[in-house]
Structure 1
Amino acid sequence: MGAPFKLVQPSAEYLSAYVAALERGWSWDTVRGKVAADEELELIRKDSAAFLASLAIRRPEGAMVTLPDGTQVPRLPGLRRWMWDGEFCGAIGFRWQDGTEALPPHVLGHIGYTVVPWKQRMGCATRALGLILPLAKEEGLRYVELTTDPANVASQRVIEANGGVLHERFTKPEAFGSTPGLRYRIALERIADGS
């Protein structure tokens, strides 16, 4: 049986497992997929310490993010954690704007997650979301929003298992293909403070 499930700070200790997942075709970026995975592999090969340091910056100054249509926008404050059960399971990220729950139009939700295919349907995403919610509460947010596709029933169940309630049906911005989406909210007042 594997080690207990936890979220870990991206670090050299876990990097080889992260690289192996990228090389197997998994990507943290579920929209840009292989292109984003290849970009990360190149960054890691060039300077793995710099790559890891970039993930540790909670409030980036001047850092940019590439949207699916190639547009670059300023990176919001945020953090990324890797899912770990003795093996790499996936990643979860949380982003925010200080002092408000509002997000820019190009940011679909506060939290995004993805599980490697060989660890799916094992509860990893549900546990990871539950573990990151106290970190969102520490930033002073009253709620977080998460989005998913109408056909992604598994993701809807993950969100609902953590107290998510459907807030609205919407059309994603053009940069994301103008496709239908579902926006959920999770109220954070019931979440225990993290440690």
Structure 2
Amino acid sequence: MELVLLSSDLEAAFADFYHDFVNHDPENAGFYQQGTENFSAYVQQLRDEEKGINLPEGYVPCSHFWLIENTVILGAIRVRHHIENDFLALEGGHIGFDVAPSYRGRGYGKKMLKLVLPKASELGIRNALITADEDNIASRKVIENNGGIFENVVKGKVFPEPIARYWVTCDC
């Protein structure tokens, strides 16, 4: 099991990952739909985003990693290089992650976050803000199991649900 950058040789695995969301968590499938429309352009967009190239307004440079095992994508995790805008500083945080619906509850979120913390440290992030919906107990446990220190619950401006905010030390 390892964290990798998305590449052309993972197109079939990505399609399976996307369809897992479509079939079991359609509310979040849209985040990955673009990758099914033009995979090579999607991969390039993620690489550009990491370099800060062609960022939409309000976006910051962001590194995208994929947890894979035997060419199966188990999850995706993003590290935003900084949180210097109102949305990220309050709601979005430095790190966001998704475990493929069919692989949830098996510890992959915990493992994925553990593996990405040194990468965040390499980007100069010493303490990462990580958020989760207040009622998303699974995500909150992933954060807490990686040393997350609960700060508070806030009401989001973009996402109106209560959001639990945690700080995690990245110097592992």
Shorter-chain TM-score bucket reads: 0.7 to 0.9
Relative distance call for 1:31 and 1:183 in structure 2 (3 A) is farther
3-state SS of paired residue (1:25): helix
Q: TM-score, normalised by structure 2?
A: 0.87
Q: Which amino acid aligns with 1:88?
A: I
Q: Say which one has the larger Rg.
A: 1
Q: Which amino acid aligns with 1:52?
A: V
Structure 2's unaligned 5+ residue stretches are: none
Q: Percent identity?
A: 27
Deviation string for 1:72-105 (max 9, x for gaps)?
Answer: x3321111011111121011110023xxxx4312
Aligned residues of 2:93 and 2:131 also touching (Cα < 8 A): yes
Q: How does 1:94-109 map to 2 (within 5 A)?
A: 94-97=79-82, 102-107=83-88, 108-109=92-93
Aligned residues of 2:34 and 2:42 also touching (Cα < 8 A): no
Residue 31 of structure 1 and its aligned partner are, at CA, apart by 10
Q: Which amino acid aligns with 1:40?
A: G
User: Which structure has more helix as a fraction of its residues?
Assistant: 2
Number of aligned residue pairs: give it.
166
Q: How does 1:1-195 map to 2 (within 5 A)?
A: 5-26=1-22, 33-44=28-39, 48=40, 50-57=41-48, 58-64=50-56, 73-86=57-70, 87-97=72-82, 102-107=83-88, 108-173=92-157, 175-176=158-159, 178-189=160-171, 191=172
Aligned residues of 2:21 and 2:101 also touching (Cα < 8 A): no
User: In the aligned structure 2, how far is the partner of 1:113 from the partner of 1:182?
Assistant: 15
Deviation string for 1:53-79 (max 9, x for gaps)?
Answer: 222232223321xxxxxxxx3321111
3-state SS of paired residue (1:7): strand
Residue 41 of structure 1 and its aligned partner are, at CA, apart by 1.6
3-state SS of paired residue (1:24): helix
Residue 16 of structure 1 and its aligned partner are, at CA, apart by 0.9
Q: Which amino acid aligns with 1:106?
A: F
Residue 35 of structure 1 and its aligned partner are, at CA, apart by 3.3
RMSD after superposition: 2.1
Structure 1's unaligned 5+ residue stretches are: 65-72
Relative distance call for 1:75 and 1:43 in structure 2 (3 A) is farther
Relative distance call for 1:34 and 1:139 in structure 2 (3 A) is closer
Aligned residues of 1:90 and 1:116 also touching (Cα < 8 A): yes
Q: TM-score, normalised by structure 1?
A: 0.77
Which runs of at least 4 in structure 1 moved beyond 6 Å after TM superposition? Answer: none
User: In the aligned structure 2, how far is the partner of 1:31 from the partner of 1:185?
Assistant: 29
